[in-house]
Structure 1
Amino acid sequence: MPSRRHSIADDLRNQITTGCLKPGERLPSETQLAARCNVSTATLRSALAVVHGEGLIEKIHGKGNFVRRSLRRITYVGGWGTQEQPQTAPDPTLRITVRATKIRARGQLTDLLRVPTGSPLTEFLCLSYEAESPHSLARVYIPRDLAPAAVLNDPRPYEGAAERFAALHPASAEIRETVSARLPTPEEASALRISSALAVLAITRVTADDITGRVVEAALLILPGDRADAVFTTNHVIDEGLTER
Structure 2
Amino acid sequence: MMKSSPAARTPKGAVDLNRSAVPRYLQLATLFRSRVNSGAWKLGAQIPTVEELAAECGVARATIRQSLGQLEAEGLIERFRAKGTFVRGQTRNPLWCEVQTDWSGLLRSREGAEIEILSSQGGATPPNLPAELGGAAPSYRHLRRRHWRDGQPFLLADVYLDERLWPKVKAHDLRTRTALNLAASLPGVTIADARQVLTIGSADVEVAEQLKMPLNAPVAYVRRAAADASGTLILIADGIYRGDVVRIDIKLSTDSLA
**TM-score w.r.t. structure 1 length?**
0.59
Contact 1:113 1:217 in 2 (8 A): no
Q: 1:176 aligns with which of 160, 177, 195?
A: 195
Residue 167 in 1 paired to residue 185 in 2? Answer: yes
- SS of residue matched to 1:159: coil
> Is the contact made by 1:113 and 1:218 (CA closer than 8 Å) also made in structure 2?
no
Map residues 2-151 of structure 1 onto 2, 5 A cutoff: 45-50=66-71, 69-81=92-104, 85=105, 87-91=107-111, 93-103=112-122, 104-105=124-125, 107-109=127-129, 114-115=135-136, 119-148=138-167, 150-151=169-170
C-alpha distance in 2 between matches for 1:78 and 1:55 = 35
Evaluate the alpha carbon distance shift between residue 132 and residue 48 of structure 1 in structure 2; reply closer, same or farther with a 3 A threshold.
Answer: farther
- What's the offset of the Cα at 1:197? 1.5
TM-aligned CA deviation for residue 99 of structure 1: 3.3
Q: Unaligned regions of 5+ residues in structure 2, if any? A: 1-24, 45-60, 78-89
Structure 1 regions of 5+ residues with no counterpart? 20-38, 58-66, 239-245
Give the 3 Å change call, closer, same or farther, for CA 45–120 of structure 1 in structure 2: farther
- Decide whether the 8 Å contact of 2:93 with 2:244 is kept in 1: no
Contact 2:184 2:191 in 1 (8 A): no
User: Deviation at 1:235?
Assistant: 5.4
Partner of 2:235: 217
**How far apart, CA to CA, are the structure 1 residues paired with 2:75 and 2:230?**
45
Cα distance, 1:79 vs structure 2:
3.1
- 1:35 aligned residue: none
Secondary structure at the residue paired with 1:96?
A: strand
1:226/1:208 CA distance change after superposition, 3 Å? same
CA apart distance, 1:150: 3.9
For 2:51, the equivalent position in structure 1 comes to: none
Q: Distance in 2 between matches of 1:96 and 1:228?
A: 17
Separation in 1, partners of 2:116, 2:129 = 23
Shift of 1:90: 3.6
Distance 1:99 1:148, change over 3 A: farther
For the residues of structure 2 that align with 1:138 and 1:167, how far apart are their CA atoms?
19
**CA displacement at 1:203 relative to structure 2:** 1.0
TM-superposed deviation, 1:191:
0.9
Post-superposition shift, 1:159?
3.0
How many corresponding residue pairs? 195
CA 74–90 in structure 1, closer or farther in 2 if over 3 Å, else same: closer
Give the SS at the match of 1:145.
helix
Determine which of 220, 224, 227 is the counterpart of 1:205. 224
Larger of the two Rg values belongs to structure: 2
What TM-score comes out, normalization by structure 2 length?
0.57
Q: CA RMSD in A?
A: 4.5
